[in-house]
Amino acid sequence: MANSTESGSLQSSSTVKVRSHYRPNNGTGSPGGRPRPKRGFLPLGKGLVWGGLVTLTATVAAIAGVGIGFFTPGPKGLVQQVIPGQSAGVEAGQADLFPYHISRPVNILVMGIDRVEPTEEEPNVDEFGGRSDTMLLVRFDPRENGLKLLSIPRDTRVFIPDVGYTKINDANAYGGPQLAARVINRNLGEVPIDRYVRVTTDALQELVDLVGGVEVFVPRPMFYEDKTQQLLIDLPAGLQTLNGQQAEQFVRFRYDANGDIGRVQRQETLLKALQNRLSHPSMITRIPKAIGIMQKTVDTNLTMEEILALVNFGRQLDRQEVQMVMLPGRFSQPAEFDGRSYWVMSDVGKRQVLRNYFDVIEEVPTWAETPGRSPESLRIALQNATDDPQALERVKEYLQSKDFRNFYETSESPQLLAETKILVQRGDLDGAHYLRQTLGGGVVEASSVGDLGSDLTIQVGMDLDQWLKESTPVDDSTPQF
């Protein structure tokens, strides 16, 4: 596992030498003087899953409680040593095994990187110097004992200094993790970034096979063949256990209406499945091999003490406290930006996510404080996950009686759910909890796997009768959260 530290937006005391594979251009977004590297068989999901695994030390730690890799001493202030008898709730044996804990909330930038292969002209290239195929901003919060992951679509339109407006996945190629952190910091409300993790995107198959496969529900048949790339994606619909190759196909498939954004949603699904698999006690004997894979594919400026602190944090983390959200936005239109395709971030949605997930304080009112905000302002998608074809009609009638008006049906869920879920598509946790209180049931899930056009998606489950009967009146004058 490579290790480095750097200054700038990344909070560190040392400097890393970063190789830039492209020279700045005239602001058009196309690097000058040298062609971009060719795209290979590098699915976006590899970076997301491995990035999630590195930062989701919570899962690994719950199984094995071990440190990862070899690191140099880092700056003080991020971690504190646990002292037996002097640290509340820590027994002597626990302190010996896990001597460090996080002293404050920590934000880590995780990037899945297109591996840069050496050439005759440049035999000593930095293998981590390519474009980022995945970007995650992950927050470990010891105050709430929670883990929050913001997925930033690779096509997000941003301004990169000395480059111009382009896609955010170019930032690492132009200036490494330091520039990538600066770009995110400036575009996401000055959110501080403490550390980074870069992962080459070639380890997903090994990991999934190592854990014996992951159980995933494939919503529809996925088939695509490209003989020139020797690529075949062929997955039937339904609940199944995917091996490494099949998992790669699942996250790489992009031939639907949502393109790369659909991939981001499937990657969240796979990440949760992998998290569930790693949580099984039988996985403990496989952790050393997983660590070996990570050592070959990870570059980070996390120190040993910090990794151990994250491990300790993970031991105490409830899986329900892992919240995921995708940067809210929209697809660009063909007439915009000279026809180049972008994900255009929503300013309001961005600020909402930063407030709810990263404690970035801006003058943005909460759901209850927003002038004119009412139940009908929430855009709600309804998905039938029951065997009752009339279920959504009953839900619509109930929502109308509670002054919700802005709702619509989406395609039926191919999978039946025992329990209703309220998916927080754009980070509006306040609105989600208000909706749950109004319904009197359901589980709020901070996950951007709902309908892209919604603020919230209700996946109506088999418990519909129960929560309709048990629903209680909500004070219409002031939303209660």
Report the distance separating Cα 276 and Cα 254, nearest Å.
Answer: 25
Q: Are 57 and 310 in contact (CB under 8 A)?
A: yes
Say yes or no: 37 and 102 in one domain: yes
User: Which band of pLDDT confidence, cut at 50, 70 and 90, is reported for residue 89?
Assistant: very low
Instruction: For residue 389, give the DSSP letter.
Output: T
Which of 358, 388, 410 corresponds to the end of one domain? 358
Q: Are 462 and 384 in contact (CB under 8 A)?
A: no
Which of 332, 358, 384 corresponds to the end of one domain? 358
Assess if residue 478 is contained within a domain: no
Report the distance separating Cα 195 and Cα 298, nearest Å.
Answer: 13
Report the distance separating Cα 355 and Cα 239, nearest Å.
Answer: 36
pLDDT for residue 259: 67
Three-state SS at 226: strand
Please give the average per-residue pLDDT across 207-227, as a whole number. Answer: 86
Three-state SS at 383: strand
Q: Which is more confident, 41 or 234? A: 234
Whether residue 160 has pLDDT greater than 90 = yes
Query: CA 388, 393, 398 angle in degrees (round to 5)?
Result: 120
Which of 327, 358, 389 corresponds to the end of one domain? 358
Which CATH number goes with the domain that contains 401? 3.30.70.2390
Say yes or no: 155 and 288 in one domain: yes
Say yes or no: 266 and 391 in one domain: no
Assess if residue 116 is contained within a domain: yes
Which CATH number goes with the domain that contains 114? 3.40.630.190
Q: Strand 380-384 and strand 407-409: pairing?
A: parallel
Q: Strand 443-445 and strand 421-424: pairing?
A: parallel
246-291: pLDDT as tens digits: 988 888 787 766 666 777 778 778 877 877 787 677 777 777 787 7
Assess if residue 103 is contained within a domain: yes
Please give the average per-residue pLDDT across 88-106, as a whole number. Answer: 63
Say yes or no: 438 and 409 in one domain: yes
Assess if residue 368 is contained within a domain: no
pLDDT for residue 2: 56
Report the distance separating Cα 219 and Cα 239, nearest Å.
Answer: 8
Say yes or no: 350 and 416 in one domain: no
Whether residue 148 has pLDDT greater than 70 = yes
Residue type at 386 in one-letter notation: T
227-239: pLDDT as tens digits: 776 778 889 988 8
Say yes or no: 423 and 321 in one domain: no
Say yes or no: 107 and 173 in one domain: yes
Say yes or no: 385 and 354 in one domain: no
pLDDT for residue 1: 59
Three-state SS at 71: coil
Assess if residue 366 is contained within a domain: no
Assess if residue 364 is contained within a domain: no
The domain of 280 spans 2-358
User: Which band of pLDDT confidence, cut at 50, 70 and 90, is reported for residue 362?
Assistant: low
Whether residue 8 has pLDDT greater than 60 = no
**CA distances (Å), 436 to each of 352, 365, 428, in order?**
19, 20, 12
338-354: pLDDT as tens digits: 889 999 999 888 988 89
Say yes or no: 328 and 380 in one domain: no
pLDDT for residue 227: 74
Report the distance separating Cα 433 and Cα 367, nearest Å.
Answer: 10
Assess if residue 479 is contained within a domain: no
Q: Are 250 and 242 in contact (CB under 8 A)?
A: yes
Residue type at 102 in one-letter notation: I
User: Which band of pLDDT confidence, cut at 50, 70 and 90, is reported for residue 108?
Assistant: very high
Assess if residue 367 is contained within a domain: no
Please give the average per-residue pLDDT across 395-400, as a whole number. Answer: 92
Report the distance separating Cα 98 and Cα 315, nearest Å.
Answer: 9
Whether residue 337 has pLDDT greater than 50 = yes
Report the distance separating Cα 117 and Cα 300, nearest Å.
Answer: 20
Domain count, the chain: 2
Whether residue 9 has pLDDT greater than 60 = no
The most confident of 183-187, 221-225, 267-271, by mean pLDDT: 183-187
Per-position DSSP letters for 127-183, written without gaps between them: TT-S-EEEEEEEEEETTTTEEEEEE--TTBEEEETTTEEEEGGGHHHHHHHHHHHHH
Q: Which is more confident, 481 or 441? A: 441
Least confidently predicted of 55-59, 199-203, 302-306, 317-321? 55-59
Q: State what percent of residues in the chain have pLDDT above 90.
A: 21
Model's pTM, two decimal places? 0.72
Residue 160's φ and ψ, nearest 5 degrees, are: -110, 125
Q: State what percent of residues in the chain have pLDDT above 70.
A: 71
The residue with tokens 């409300």 is 189
Say yes or no: 386 and 353 in one domain: no
Report residue 435 as tokens. 């909706």
Question: Closest by alpha carbon to 317, among 49, 95, 101?
Answer: 101
Whether residue 23 has pLDDT greater than 60 = no
Say yes or no: 261 and 387 in one domain: no
Q: Are 356 and 191 in contact (CB under 8 A)?
A: no
The most confident of 50-64, 358-372, 392-406, by mean pLDDT: 392-406
Report the distance separating Cα 448 and Cα 423, nearest Å.
Answer: 7
Say yes or no: 404 and 265 in one domain: no
